[in-house]
Amino acid sequence: MTEEEEWIKAAREGDKAAFGHLVEAYQTPIYNLTYRMLHNQSEAEEAAQEAFIRAYKHLNSYDPGRPFSSWLFSIASHYCIDRLRRRRIDWLPLKEEIAEPVRLATTSPNPETVATDRDREAWIQELMNALSPTDRAALTLHYWYDCSYKEIAEVLNLTVSAVKSRLYRARRTLAEQMEGESYAL
């Protein structure tokens, strides 16, 4: 039995410290997922917390035959998708929601690099805002987690062909967004 399996088993029996280890192990992947979906630090943090709380509450419904990461990603993705759908009828303009300072995982002391990273982050956020919540989730799982079509399909409850279509559609939308922009990197 791996360390993770032991933590899961103990957490299912009510061991909160074991669940704490699971949170520690997955906090960055889950936070990154919620951030890439919501593009807002405080919302992303709240969503990450909520995803872990939901996972704790429903730990007994987790199927140990499935990767724990996929199960967690599924909870976090669906939470973010719901949140984005609710945000659609929000009265606030979207532009206000993305005006956030950037915090990157890689520490880069060079100011020039920081500026480039910020530009890239801002650009990615702007591009992804044009995508539907599910397309956004599919693209995030593909690029940041190297998930295969099958894994994305499992996380988002889609078919493999639907995932392919969504990735294609997302790329087409992003390419359209790039009209008139200089895209030489």
Q: Report which secondary-structure segment, H or E, holds 83.
A: helix 68-87
20 lines the binding site for another protein (CB under 8 A): yes
Q: Is 24 in the site for another protein (CB under 8 A)?
A: yes
> How big is the chain by its Cα radius of gyration, in Å?
18
Among positions 121-180, residues that touch another protein (CB under 8 A) are 121, 123-124, 127, 139, 142-144, 149, 164, 167-168, 171-172, 174-175, 178
| Cα–Cα dist 72/76, whole Å | 6
Among 13, 65, 103, 111, binds another protein (CB under 8 A): 103
**Count of other CB atoms within 10 angstroms of residue 36:** 21
Q: 10 Å Cβ neighbour count for 39?
A: 22
Segment interacting with another protein (CB under 8 A) among 1-9, 49-57, 63-71, 76-84: 49-57
- Please identify, among the stretches 2-10, 16-24, 60-68, 78-86, the one whose residues bind another protein according to the rule CB under 8 A: 16-24
The Cα-based distances of 72 to 23, 29, 37, 136, 185 in angstroms read 10, 10, 15, 17, 34
CB burial of residue 49 (10 Å; 0-12, 13-18, 19+): middle
Residue number, 79 or 149, with CB nearest to another protein: 149
The structure tokens listed for 27 are: 């906090």
Binding mask 50-69 for another protein (x = CB under 8 A): --xx--x-------------
Rounded CA separation 163/142 (Å): 10
Contact call for residue 87 and another protein (CB under 8 A):
no
Which positions touch another protein (CB under 8 A)?
16, 19-20, 23-24, 27-32, 35-36, 45, 48-49, 52-53, 56, 89, 91, 93, 103-106, 117, 120-121, 123-124, 127, 139, 142-144, 149, 164, 167-168, 171-172, 174-175, 178, 183-185
